[in-house]
Structure 1
Amino acid sequence: MELYKGQTNPGRRIKKSSGNNIFRAALISGGVIAFLAFLSFMGYFFFLLGTLPKVDRLADYRPPIVSQVFGADGSLVGEFYLERRTVVPVDKVPKKLIQAFVAAEDANFYQHKGIDYLGIVRAAFKNLISMRKKEGASTITQQVAKSMLLTPEKKYSRKLKEAILAKRMEERLSKDEILYIYLNQIYLGAGSYGVQLAAETYFAKNVENLNLAEMAMLAGLPKAPNTYSPIKHLEKAKERQSYVLERMVKEGYITQAEADHAKNTPVLIRSLKKVNSEQSAYFLEQVRIQLEEKYGEDRLYKEGLKIYTTMNAEMQKAAYEGVVNGLKAVDKRQGFRGPIKYLSEAEIGDFCKHVEDSIDLPSLKEGATYQGVVTAVNPGKSEVTVRVGDRTGILNRKNMAWAGKLNLLATYGKPERKGKTLNPGSVIEVSVVTPDVNKNGTIFALDQEPEAQAALIAMDPQTGGVRAMIGGYDFKKSQFNRAMQAKRNPGSAFKPIIYAAAIDKGMSPATLIDDSPAEYESGKEQAWKPKNYDNIYRGPVTMREALTNSINVVSVKILESIGVNTAIEYGKKLGISSPLAANLTLALGSSSLTPMELTSAYAVFASGGFRVTPYFVTKVVDREGNILEETSPPPLPVFSSTTSALNLAMQDVKNNNSAASSPTAVPVISPETAYIMTNLMQSVVTSGTGQRARALGRPVAGKTGTTNDMKDAWFIGYVPQLVAGVWVGYDQERSLGAGGSGGQAAAPIWTEFMQRGLAGVSVTNFPVPGNVTFALINPRTGRLAREGSEGSVTECFIPGTEPTSYDGDATNAGDEIN
């Protein structure tokens, strides 16, 4: 084969030319793609610039702050918030605390302009070496931008926005202004936002009173507030504290000697007395509903309102503990239901970890109830070892005696006799008799969450101010407020309303009624035959004896005498708004009422004849100190024996009309009728079904109530300064069982509450209206008795209703109902 002249290797030349063209085309294509990518990035960048929030609004930093709820004595009783925060000016924050945060979070804070480029390189290098994200590079300014202006989503677009906003913030705000926002905005664990609330939460101090050791511990929290929580993980918190102190030394903020001294300074973890929202939950929820409707969610949860209420904090605590103790007593009478569930040995660790995370205290609280798991059984000593979270203690025979004889097994697994057996893996409720020391040595008592529920409402009968309210056993499990929402049959607790109507109709405590069997047409095949609770019929008895012993048949005959419609109208006059049965069963409390309704009706007797409007809030003040609303209690007139009490009362109320939002006091019955009823109900306490209330050792009026099969138990009672009502029962109606009557289930709760709630309140007699008369009578006949007559008693009367004949007279002028 011959080559043309001048041609060496035409095939190779052609190949080389083709390679150059491909490279050139690729280079051009790459350039076009890069240019388009750059244009896309710039387009996206400018799009982001247009969507970023305004930085200027940070100059007027108004973070969400806690709205506080105060009791009648000015004590803090509750809080409403989205973020629990108290704002503190930056000039009140100690310099060393600021330096601690800067050293730990952003050493170049005072040098950079929003972005620490050197820090980014350093963090990237460390993360590359460790092959994991070990260190971040966000500046304090970037953290503020993310917290205040952006969402926490983990996207590159958010990081880009964060960087842009940080640069803008540095241009518009001073370093102190940025620190002011940061130190008040940052989350520091245990529900605390900002350094002031964190100082209170962990050390029970204001931020300006912190020592260096405490400052360093707070500054170590932003990295991982839960991991370094001094409440839950003190050793880890100290390790982080040491790191912060060494960073402060490196930055020249403190000396090594100062750092070493701080490391060796004991840190006492203690909180300012926290608001116990658990014991006040139902009261606070009622306040929340009322104010949220009026002011809206944002204002209530973010604007730091000061809300002043009618609550008496000590009474509220007594109400909560009285209900808890009372329900446990009712429940334990029904016996031990057995462990909640059984765990295998492998499941115990996870269960205890979950319990541990829910305990936000350095030690278990005396008297508190927790879920624990049995980890060991010692049948010989009749005791078991119980673990609650990471704490361990002993449950001995004495502290589980109420459960009767229990079978103690040393093996895991669900036993055949579930209700009477404890073995390893048994999950039970225990209360703390003696708290733990170093997470060991707790003495427990076997406990059990009650299945029954209760409600308690207490109010000032003179003003209507609600002093305490409990709507159930556990608000976290049921927000249904039984004090205001549950309508249940009051049973005999309704009888005082019938008797009061009868007093107004001219009857008297000495009126005789025949306690004998009776039957009434009921519209059914069989006639209705009311029966007495004890199935005993006593013959003629006075109204006083009938109410004292809660005699059913007599109550029905009184209602028949005055008329059902009269009683219904009377109930409405006392403030009852629920429908009332238009038949004779009304005398036995067959119409469902709320505890609030019935307690308010009794308040009319306690106040001397006035119906007051129950209320919860006395004043609301905004964060600037402006009063948004204020409620004044209604004035009650002072009666004299020479003035028509009812007319005077009406005139005084007319002359002292409060604002439309204020509670009102309306005279609805005469002071004489109110006093007669009070006097009658004092007998219920001294010698009738409400004798448990005698333990108060002061004048008390009240009435028990028990419905058929003991499905509902009531006690409503009062002293001159306070009226309270208690209901006990199951949400799904069933018998309370042994000890489920009003006197056994409800009256003990009422008595415990009043004993504690009235501590320090003066003992006062019920005032007697000037024109009430007193006469000596024979309680067996209802007639007047002569001085020295055997068995005679002094009785009270409204003038004109007292008997006019004596024992032995030929005629009896007294009333008698057959």
Structure 2
Amino acid sequence: MQLYQGQQQIKRRLPRKPGKGLGKKLLLAAVGAGGVALLALCGYFLFLMATLPKVDRLADYRPPIVSQVFGADGNLVGEFYLERRTVVPVEKIPKKLIQAFVAAEDANFYKHKGIDYLGIVRAAVKNLISLRKKEGASTITQQVAKSMLLTPEKKYSRKLKEAILATRMEKMLSKDEILYIYLNQIYMGAGSYGVQLAAETYFGKDVEQLNLAEMAMLAGLPKAPNTYSPIKHLDRARERQKYVLDRMVKEGFIAEAEAVHARNTPIVIRSRKKVNSDQSAYFLEQVRIQLEEKYGEDRLYKEGLKVYTTMNAEMQKSAYDAVVNGLKAVDKRQGFRGALKYLSEAELDDFCKKVEEGIDSASLKQGATYQGVVTAVNPANGDVTVRVGDRTGLLPRKNMAWAGKVVLVNSYGKPAEVKGKALPLGAVVEVSVLTPDVNKGGAVFSLDQEPEAQAALIAIDPRTGGVRAMVGGYDFKKSQFNRAMQAKRNPGSAFKPIIYGAAIDSRRMTAATIIDDSPVEYDSGRDKAWKPKNYDNIYRGPVAMREALTNSINVVSVKILETIGVTAAIEFAKKLGIASTLENNLTLALGSSSVTPLELTSAYAVFASGGYRTTPYFVTKVTDRDGKVLEEITPPALPVFGAATSAQTLTLDGAAAPASPSPTTQLTAVPVIPPETAYIMTNLMESVVASGTGQRARALGRPVAGKTGTTNDMKDAWFVGYVPQLVAGVWVGYDQEKSLGAGGSGGQAAAPIWTEFMQRGLAGIPAQRFSPPDNVVFALINPRTGLLARQGSEGSVSECFITGTEPTSYDGEDN
């Protein structure tokens, strides 16, 4: 027995077989690790489930949409947005367009529950065979989940979240509801989101008007909107269109014959007229500033406000064109500054590719300006071949005649021996399009250059204060500084009507008052006395006030100010709305105090309105995306030289009361000067246009009142003028003050811009005369003496007076 026990003890002490215990441990470790991993995975999955965004918010789909700005005629003139989108109900989207998207993006859309497992396998096989990612497997539902609820990060965790959310969406939303979100949310290239904006952007149509060829082309965009853009790459877009049509045939959505017909249907790129263009940028920026201050960024850029403004779209375009044309004319009088840069032959293609990227149209736009490169010259006739992006055109010698003698060089590189006016191969110049290119070739150009001077134009309805047009500079993209509202510059002689108005209003002087135009000097409190001089250095002796204003005589203007007093003139200017600080000395008569174009134009509007001051404004009504009125402006409306004589609120003729209670603001028109003063000043400024410094404005062929202004050394040029229905002011000058040079006076630089604008802006608006109020009388006078003249007297003229201020004695009689 003992022996047996000993043997058992010895047996127990024998060594174990190697590896037997280790295997068990490894197995246990593996099981344990797997359990931990499973728990971790479950924990991570539960974490994801808990942190995923709520799907139910998609049931009330309200994406960021465009806030639209409308002109006074109700037409769209601008947009504000983060994502340019117009939401369209799914029932308005053609069935074939929906089928095109389904065929191209998710053929099993109506069969799966959010995830297309067969599609995943199919994509994986194709990608494995091609050894690259050739095909994706995201369903339309997954794309909506990613777009609406997730970030675009490329991580496996995001794909997992996307799959979970897609299955949740399919349980809560119908297929049509998912398509509604998808087709309105998806980015379609060229800055457009959703199928409605894409239809407008590429084909100039509403989504219901698309044909099958256009539908298939749109359905091909989501894969790569820029790559398949019909605007930039029509050939690639056609290839993608064919793929979509083939998929539609395979899925049974269309017959092969329909696909063939669609492939052969011509594609016409015809974008709807763009808004937020250069021509209205400064006006829209002022509106944007006001709206952002009042409603905040989110509401403005995301909530689809409807903003109604005072802008007259035709006038705004006329204002922009007039400023551009006028500045180019001023600039070309200063001469050609030469090429912008010189490229080597090796640099040519890269430069042109960059230019091409900035061209967003199928052909070069007539009247537009582009940067082009000289690629060939013809020494025989002086014509030049210019390449703009991937297009080519001709710059005939006659179309650069304004530049003077330009040396053409048939080699690359800047010639050292010729300065400024050399055009070698590789020279980069600005050209404007006279004849658009056809099939990316054959355009005809004119040599151009960007003006260095700036200008501002603002036009106001004098009866309401509504701003009809505003341009604050040559190019808003390069300078957002709004010179119409922000630039304070010396008005020069354009300020004289305010001095003369104060004199008339004082009843101490009349249009027939005689002042001696002779040299004078004043103690300036410095070493030298101040001696005002006339612009032409001619002194005419005794002249009437009318002649003095007509010919903008400086010395007489100073003497008038001296007579009425500087304080009285400043008070009168403030009545007209001049808020800037004014010099309290006699130099004020010559426009020595800086004002903005808006201030000066608003002051002239008081004369045009018959003595009423209105507040310039831009916005008339704002509604939210549901049509609720957020604010509404009811402007005053005045008859031409209206008869009202006391401060009162005058409502717009024909304006209907709001249908529902809304925050309405009633603007007022305050009578600040007597209508007789306003009329006589208007009558005096009619003479400026008829026979004085503002004669360019006679081209309107209708009653016009206005005044030019030119400062020392021609640093500022002005013209402010009006007809009964519209007043406009123009300023021209350099931001950093310097002379405008030859042709830089108000009559030569500013008046042509004003005249071009008014000719086009007033087209279709009937001419009206300035009607005198009852207490203005006309008398026959001798303009050399200011006394009454008998009928038939040589040189006699009819002059207007405020009743009681007309002369009482006849010329030649003893006084």
Q: Which residue of 1 aligns with 2:735?
A: 731
Q: Distance in 2 between matches of 1:726 and 1:324?
A: 12
Q: What amino acid does structure 1 have at the position aligned with 2:191?
A: G
Q: 2:278 aligned with 1:278, yes or no?
A: yes
Report the counterpart of residue 305 of structure 2 in structure 1: 305
How far does the alpha carbon of each residue in 1:627-657 deviate from its partner, in whole angstroms, 9 at most, with x for none? Answer: 11111121437878xxxx56x332566999x
Preserved contact between residue 372 and residue 429 of structure 1 (Cα < 8 Å): yes
Matched residues in 1 for 2:177 and 2:650: separation?
55
* Whole-Å separation in 2 of the counterparts to 1:802 and 1:354: 70
The reply on whether 1:613 has 2:610 as its aligned counterpart is: no
Q: What is the Cα deviation at residue 255 of structure 1?
A: 1.5
Alignment of 1:361-372 (within 5 A): 361-372=361-372
3-state SS, counterpart of residue 536 of structure 2: coil
Change (3 A) 1:660 1:512: farther
CA distance in 2, matches of 1:755, 1:525: 50
Q: Which amino acid is the alignment partner of residue 538 of structure 2?
A: I
Q: What is the match of residue 183 of structure 1? A: 183
CA distance in 2 between counterparts of 1:127 and 1:501 reads 85
Identity %: 79
Structure 1 letter corresponding to 2:510: S
Q: Is the alpha carbon distance of 1:768 and 1:301 closer, same or farther for their aligned partners in structure 2, counting shifts above 3 Å?
A: same
Partner of 1:473: 474
Structure 2 residue matching 1:485: 3-state secondary structure: coil
Q: 1:808 to 1:47 in 2, by over 3 A?
A: same
For residues 613 and 486 of structure 2, what CA distance do their matches in structure 1 show? 20
What is the distance in 2 between the residues matched to 1:758 and 1:669? 27
Shift of the alpha carbon at 1:71? 0.8
Alpha-carbon distance, 1:380 to partner: 2.0
Deviation at 1:329, TM superposition (A): 0.3
Within 2, Cα distance between the matches of 1:771 and 1:132?
Answer: 90
1:260 aligned partner: 260
Written as runs of structure 1 = structure 2, the 5 A alignment for 1:26-175 is 26-175=26-175
Would you say how many aligned residue pairs link Structure 1 and Structure 2?
795
What does 1:221-620 correspond to in 2, within 5 Å? Answer: 221-275=221-275, 277-416=277-416, 417-506=418-507, 507-620=509-622
Q: Distance in 2 between matches of 1:232 and 1:561?
A: 69
Q: CA deviation at 1:272?
A: 2.2
Indicate whether 1:686 and 2:678 are aligned. Answer: no
Distance in 2 (CA, whole Å) between partners of 1:500 and 1:762 is 28
Secondary structure of 2:192 counterpart: coil
Report the 3-state secondary structure (helix = DSSP H, G, I; strand = E; otherwise coil) of the residue aligned with 1:726.
Answer: strand
- 2:11 is aligned to none
Preserved contact between residue 103 and residue 248 of structure 1 (Cα < 8 Å): yes
Question: Which letter maps to 1:649?
Answer: S
Equivalents in 1 of 2:675, 2:260: separation in Å? 75
SS in 2 for 1:725: strand
- For residue 540 of structure 1, give the secondary structure of its aligned residue in structure 2: strand
Of stretches 152-161 and 319-328 in structure 1, the one that deviates more from structure 2 is 152-161
Q: Cα offset for 1:85?
A: 1.1
Worse overlay, 44-53 or 345-354: 44-53
The alignment partner of 2:74 has SS state of: coil
The CA distance in 1 between the partners of 2:549 and 2:103, in whole Å, is 77
Shift of 1:123: 1.0
User: Does residue 718 of structure 2 align to residue 699 of structure 1?
Assistant: no
Query: Which one of 707, 710, 713 corresponds to residue 717 of structure 2?
Result: 713
- Structure 2 match to 1:756: 760
Given that 1:639 and 1:769 are in contact with CA atoms closer than 8 Å, whether structure 2 keeps it comes out as yes
Alignment partner of 1:804: what SS?
A: coil
Contact in 2 for aligned 1:343/1:426 (Cα 8 Å):
yes
Residue 746 of structure 1 corresponds to 750
Whether the aligned pair in 2 keeps the contact of 1:462 and 1:607 (CA below 8 Å) is yes
Q: 2:665 aligns with which of 658, 661, 667?
A: 661
TM-score, normalized by length of structure 2? 0.95
Q: In the alignment, is the contact (CA less than 8 A) between 1:614 and 1:663 conserved in 2?
A: no
Question: Which residue type is aligned with residue 771 of structure 1?
Answer: N
RMSD: 2.0
Q: Secondary structure at the match of 1:631?
A: strand
Superposition deviation, residue 322 in structure 1 = 0.2
SS state at 1:591 partner: coil
Q: 2-side partners of 1:386 and 1:177: how far apart? A: 53
The CA deviation at 1:285 is 0.7
Query: What is the distance in 2 between the residues matched to 1:433 and 1:601?
Result: 40
Q: CA deviation at 1:363?
A: 0.6
Alpha-carbon displacement from aligned partner over 1:7-66 (angstroms, at most 9, x marks no partner):
xxxxxx98x944455554444444433333333332222222222111001000011111
Give the counterpart letter for 1:497 in structure 2. I
CA 1:300–1:652: 2 relative to 1, 3 Å: closer
The amino acid across from 1:569 in the alignment is E
Structure 1 window deviating more from structure 2 (152-161 vs 97-106): it is 152-161
Please say if residues 615 and 663 of structure 1, whose CA atoms lie closer than 8 Å, have aligned partners that are also in contact. no
Give the 3 Å change call, closer, same or farther, for CA 521–21 of structure 1 in structure 2: farther
Between the aligned partners of 1:376 and 1:211, the Cα distance in structure 2 is 43
Distance in 2, Cα, partners of 1:500 & 1:300: 43
Listed one character per residue, the Cα deviations across residues 292-350 of structure 1 (whole Å, up to 9, x for unaligned) are 11111111111211111110010000000000000000000001111111112121111
Task: Report the AA paired with residue 585 of structure 2.
Answer: N
Q: Which moved more, 1:20-29 or 1:158-167?
A: 20-29
Structure 1 unaligned regions, length at least 5: 1-5, 7-12, 812-818
Preserved contact between residue 653 and residue 666 of structure 1 (Cα < 8 Å) = no
CA contact (8 A) 1:71 1:308 kept: yes
Provide Cα deviations, 1:167-215, integer angstroms capped at 9, x if missing partner. Answer: 1111111111000000111111111111111112212222122111111
CA distance in structure 1 between the partners assigned to 2:641 and 2:649 by the alignment: 11
- Specify the SS of the correspondent of 1:409: strand
Structure 2 Cα separation of the partners of residues 238 and 611 of structure 1: 60
Could you tell me how far apart the structure 1 residues matched to 2:433 and 2:623 are? 40
Seen in structure 2, the aligned counterparts of structure 1 residues 108 and 82 have a Cα distance that, compared at 3 Å, is same
Q: Secondary structure at the match of 1:372?
A: strand
SS at match of 1:546: helix
For residues 156 and 778 of structure 1, the distance between their equivalents in structure 2, rounded to whole angstroms, comes to 96
> What are the Cα deviations for residues 656-709 of structure 1, in whole angstroms up to 9, with x where unaligned?
9x9883332100001100000000000100111101000000000000000111
Is the Cα–Cα contact under 8 Å of residues 635 and 652 in structure 2 kept in the other structure?
A: no
* Cα distance per residue 1:714-766 (max 9 Å; x no partner): 00000000000000001111111110000000000000000000000001111
Of the structure 1 ranges 410-419 and 37-46, higher mean CA displacement relative to structure 2 is found in 37-46
- Partner of 1:724, secondary structure, is strand
TM-score, normalisation: structure 1: 0.95
State whether residues 120 and 137 of structure 1, in contact with CA within 8 Å, keep that contact through their aligned partners in structure 2. Answer: yes
Q: Deviations along 1:485-508, whole A, 9 cap, x unmatched? A: 110110000000000000011210
- Cα deviation code 1:530-549 (max 9, x no counterpart): 11111111111110011001
> Using a 3 Å threshold, how does the CA distance of structure 1 residues 428 and 109 change in structure 2: closer, same or farther?
same
- Equivalent-residue separation in structure 2 for 1:210 and 1:628 (angstroms): 36
Q: Matches of 1:474 and 1:27 in 2, distance apart?
A: 76
One-letter amino acid of the structure 2 residue matched with residue 530 of structure 1: P
Q: Within 2, Cα distance between the matches of 1:353 and 1:786?
A: 78
What is the alpha-carbon distance in structure 1 between the residues aligned to residue 299 and residue 326 of structure 2? 38
Any idea what SS the aligned residue of 2:780 has? Answer: strand
Contact map agreement 2:343 2:427 (CA 8 A) in 1: yes
Structure 1 range deviating more: 325-334 or 259-268: 259-268
Q: What secondary structure, in the 3-state scheme, does the structure 2 residue paired with 1:393 have?
A: strand
1:816 alignment partner in structure 2? none
Query: Letter of the aligned partner of 1:715 in structure 2?
Result: F
Offset of residue 414 of structure 1: 2.1
